[in-house]
Amino acid sequence: MAARVKSGHVESDFGLRGHVRAFKSGDMSPHSKEPHNETETHAHLKQLAFIWAQAQGFSACAMEVMLPRCRYRADVAGYRSVPKQIGSTAVFECKQALCDLRRDNCHSASARKRLEAICNRRQVLETRLRTHYPNLQNGDSLFPEFDSENFTAIGHLGYARLLRDMRALQNRLYDCTKFDKLIRYRCANLFFLVLPEELFREPEIPVGWGALVESNGALTLKRKPTWRDTTAEDRIRLLQRIAIAGTRVLNRQLEIGWGQVAAEHCRSILAGIAIPATE
């Protein structure tokens, strides 16, 4: 019961701050748009995920939901209520192309191990190059012992390939770990990848994620997700963000802009009928 009261307080506080951020960013404007350059295929996958989630009991759903604990936005997020306790949450990510899938599917632990091995190999190779090419110093320091070496000047193919691999792996490690981070940050209880039938490959599905495959206008569960425990506070927080995303869509449909909401807020304060955020 204490956890529920605490979560309720968080809900009230976060809801107020969430709407303030929405005002400042313009999200509540009727001119707010869906993600730029979204294709028809991606929009169709999101709609199918939206329908499938509700059919599985996730009665509170929304698209383009900012997730707790991270900077990522989910294509679809859902909340399934449970009697007399806080319910469960799910995140759905839609991918329409293999390159798009692979871009977010880097496993951090294995990538770091590989990067460490490449860095060690680079140190060994540079030590050997210093021995064979003692005149590589750039002369960019006042003291010769602190001069940096220009290893690329000798045109060593193995060293150049090693640098390319290291840059590519660093970029992938820091920019392409969305699926892995969502699991590690425990943004929801369940995670689903939504794919067209021709894109489904079992080895390409990230660890812990379920796979929903589209065929003939319907989704089929090809792999079940692994359940992830999350705190009651995080589940309530995701529910709040689902509600905010749903309100944003309805505001757009009803052409309710930020100016109208702000004006009503000011009128309520002046009339002394504004409802406080907390008791």
Of 198, 197, 193, the closest CA to residue 208 belongs to 193
φ/ψ of residue 276, rounded to 5: -65, 150
**Measured distance CA(67)–CA(239) in Å, rounded:** 10
The 10s digit of each residue's pLDDT in 29-87 is 444 445 657 899 999 999 999 999 999 999 999 999 999 888 889 999 999 999 999 99
Of 118-127, 192-201, 202-211, the one with minimum mean pLDDT is: 118-127
User: Which is higher by pLDDT, 197 or 120?
Assistant: 197
Return the pLDDT at 42. 93
How buried is residue 92: exposed, middle or buried, by Cβ count under 10 Å (0-12/13-18/19+)? buried
Measure the CA dihedral 218/224/227/233, to 10°.
-10
CA angle 156, 158, 160 (to 5 degrees): 70
The residue ranges of DSSP E strands in 67-152, in sequence order, are 73-82, 85-94
